[in-house]
């Protein structure tokens, strides 16, 4: 016999805001669907460790799904699918809606760059019979986390003759890998007195890449010579070619299930491929939307969205202008009526470090997709702060469609802070709020997310694109 709820209990359920574990809110069939969705996500992660690789993966999948390169001179009809590849490092996907572009679009924007170690322009040197690469870290990292873990090397080298070679070493099981060495604890007495932030300094993030000399009695720097000789034979490159290269060292780990219950995924680069992937999948899966649907996967978010592949550049505005042109409309009308989900992660509450969060306003792994009304730092500086009206619309959409969601602030007031691409879209007069997946160990070489949260993000983007 089931017990009747007390009056107070029933009233509490009606009046209190109390987000619940997603597994308790959805059916077993939907949990199964979520787990299946995540298997493909893991494959995507393993072959998309850089912005270039993510664009390549998404472009190939877009073409398979009927997307064609956008041409402003063409006339498009509802249901047509177009894309723009911006310099191989960001990509815009759009499905033309039934309504005129005058009514605006439904936009999701995620970034596909992640914190990592970039090689310096002149990286290769030899010291004490070891060959090493100098690096300059990219994005916000805790430098000590990047030592003594296997690294792979990804990117592109443009050679003197103008041809380019793509590099991807350390992902295949037959490949060699690389590593930043750290000091043994036995001799780490002085190092242990450093602050955590200085435990490993930027100029100590040197990657070990070789140790055998080129056989020759006269030449010096023979280990470096041997490494360059290997690179020259394999890729036809010389040392000067590093000057026109973009080479990124990233963790060589594969994405893997975490926990006895396999409820989570550990991987490099969840931030923000965990939002980019569902935003892309959602646009692949919609058919004949009312509003034109757009997904942007952008670069350079981790260093402030600057550069011509970041959202602080005009590339997105120009795309909208060209799209508007195809319908003979002013682009600013399109932008002003556009609604956006800025797809970005938030910090999941970590019981080991509870002090940095304020529980009532923190996001938790497994409580669904997280809406972040504002990010920023020191009194909401550097953010867009979504309006009550727009929050109301998104909240209703999620509730009406039984999408499990929660709210989240990025940590306690004055504990630190951060930003997303939301403010750059707001600067275009777009209504925008951050929506994404809570992450544990964010920006670490191995981050953790919940499978159900990721699936809820996918459902949120898809439902948003289906707006009537
Ligand atoms: Mn992010
Ligand atoms: Mn980030």
The pLDDT > 90 percentage for the chain reads 94
> What domains sit in the chain, N to C, each tagged with a CATH number?
16-114+268-465 (3.40.630.10), 116-251 (2.30.250.10)
Kindly identify the ligand whose nearest atom is closest to the C-alpha of 442. 2
For residues 176 and 3, what is the distance between their CA atoms, to the nearest angstrom? Answer: 63
**CA–centroid distance, residue 374 to ligand 1 (Å):** 14
Under the banding of pLDDT at 50, 70 and 90, the label for residue 433 is very high
**CA–centroid distance, residue 344 to ligand 1 (Å):** 5
Q: Tell me the residues surrounding ligand 2 (ion) with CB < 5 Å.
A: 271
Kindly identify the ligand whose nearest atom is closest to the C-alpha of 436. 1
Q: Is residue 376 pLDDT above 90, yes or no?
A: no
- On whether the CB atoms of residues 442 and 126 are closer than 8 A, the answer is no
Q: What is the pLDDT of residue 1?
A: 56
In DSSP notation, 49-65 reads -SHHHHHHHHHHHHHHT
Kindly identify the ligand whose nearest atom is closest to the C-alpha of 272. 1
**CA–centroid distance, residue 375 to ligand 1 (Å):** 11
Indicate the burial class of 458 (C-beta count within 10 angstroms; 0-12, 13-18, 19 or more).
Answer: buried
**CA–centroid distance, residue 375 to ligand 2 (Å):** 12
Under the banding of pLDDT at 50, 70 and 90, the label for residue 414 is confident
**CA–centroid distance, residue 425 to ligand 1 (Å):** 15
**CA–centroid distance, residue 230 to ligand 2 (Å):** 35
Task: Tell me if the bond preceding 228 is cis, omega within 30° of 0.
Answer: no
- The pTM of this model reads 0.97
More confident residue, 4 or 448: 448
Main-chain phi, psi angles of 381, to 5 degrees: -75, 145
**CA–centroid distance, residue 153 to ligand 2 (Å):** 20
**CA–centroid distance, residue 210 to ligand 2 (Å):** 32
**CA–centroid distance, residue 17 to ligand 1 (Å):** 27
- On whether the CB atoms of residues 395 and 385 are closer than 8 A, the answer is no
Q: Residue 358: left if φ>0, alpha if ψ -120 to 50, beta else—which one?
A: beta
Structure tokens at 156: 């592109």
The pLDDT > 70 percentage for the chain reads 100
Least confident of 79-83, 300-304, 344-348, 381-385: 381-385
In DSSP notation, 247-305 reads EEEEE-PPPEEESTT--EEEETTHHHHHHHHHHHHHHHH--S-SSEEEEEEES-GGGTS
**CA–centroid distance, residue 37 to ligand 1 (Å):** 21
For residues 295 and 297, what is the distance between their CA atoms, to the nearest angstrom? Answer: 7
For residues 21 and 367, what is the distance between their CA atoms, to the nearest angstrom? Answer: 5
- On whether the CB atoms of residues 117 and 151 are closer than 8 A, the answer is yes
**CA–centroid distance, residue 111 to ligand 1 (Å):** 6
Tens-place pLDDT, residues 217-267: 999 999 999 999 999 999 999 999 999 999 999 999 999 999 999 999 999
Q: What is the pLDDT of residue 382?
A: 85
User: In whole angstroms, what separates CA 165 from the centre of its chain?
Assistant: 25
């Amino acid at each position: 016999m089931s017990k009747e709820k007390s009056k107070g209990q029933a009233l509490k359920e009606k009046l209190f805001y109390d987000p619940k574990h997603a597994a308790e809110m959805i059916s077993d069939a939907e949990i199964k669907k979520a787990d299946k969705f995540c298997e493909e996500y893991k494959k995507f992660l393993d072959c998309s460790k850089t912005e270039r690789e993510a664009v390549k993966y998404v472009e190939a999948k877009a073409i398979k799904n009927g997307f064609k390169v956008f041409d402003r001179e063409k006339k498009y009809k509802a249901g047509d699918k177009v894309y723009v590849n911006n310099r191989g490092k960001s990509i815009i996907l759009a499905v033309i809606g039934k309504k005129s572009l005058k009514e605006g679009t439904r936009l999701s924007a995620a970034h596909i760059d992640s914190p990592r170690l970039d090689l310096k322009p002149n990286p290769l040197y030899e010291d004490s019979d070891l060959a090493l690469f100098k690096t300059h870290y990219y994005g916000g990292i805790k430098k000590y986390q990047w030592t003594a873990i296997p690294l792979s090397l990804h990117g592109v080298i443009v050679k003197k003759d103008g041809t380019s070679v793509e590099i991807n070493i350390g992902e295949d099981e037959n490949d060699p890998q690389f590593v930043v060495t750290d000091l043994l604890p036995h001799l780490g007495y002085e190092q242990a007195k450093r602050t955590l932030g200085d435990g490993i300094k930027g100029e100590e993030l040197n990657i070990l890449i070789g140790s055998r000399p080129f056989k020759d009695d006269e030449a010096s720097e023979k280990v470096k010579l041997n490494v360059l000789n290997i690179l020259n034979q394999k890729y036809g490159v010389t040392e000067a070619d590093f000057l026109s290269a973009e080479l990124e060292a990233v963790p060589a780990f594969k994405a893997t299930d975490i926990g006895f219950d396999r409820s989570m995924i550990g991987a490099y680069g969840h931030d923000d491929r965990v939002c980019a992937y569902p935003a892309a999948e959602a646009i692949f899966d919609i058919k004949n939307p009312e509003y034109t649907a757009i997904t942007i996967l952008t670069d350079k978010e981790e260093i402030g969205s600057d550069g011509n592949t970041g959202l602080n550049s005009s590339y997105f505005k120009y795309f909208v202008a060209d799209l508007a042109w195809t319908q003979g409309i002013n682009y600013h009308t399109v932008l002003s009526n556009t609604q956006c989900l800025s797809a970005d992660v938030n910090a999941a509450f970590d019981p080991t470090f509870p002090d940095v969060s304020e529980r009532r306003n923190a996001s938790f792994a497994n409580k669904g997709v997280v809406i972040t009304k504002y990010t920023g730092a020191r009194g909401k500086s550097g953010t867009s702060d979504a309006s009550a009206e727009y929050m109301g619309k998104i909240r209703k959409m999620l509730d009406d469609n039984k999408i499990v969601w929660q709210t989240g602030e990025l940590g306690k007031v004055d504990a630190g802070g951060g930003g997303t691409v939301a403010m750059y879209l707001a600067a275009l007069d777009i209504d925008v709020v951050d929506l994404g997946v809570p992450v544990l160990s964010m920006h670490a070489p191995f981050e953790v997310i919940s499978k159900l949260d990721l699936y809820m993000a996918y459902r949120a983007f898809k439902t948003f694109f289906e707006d009537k």
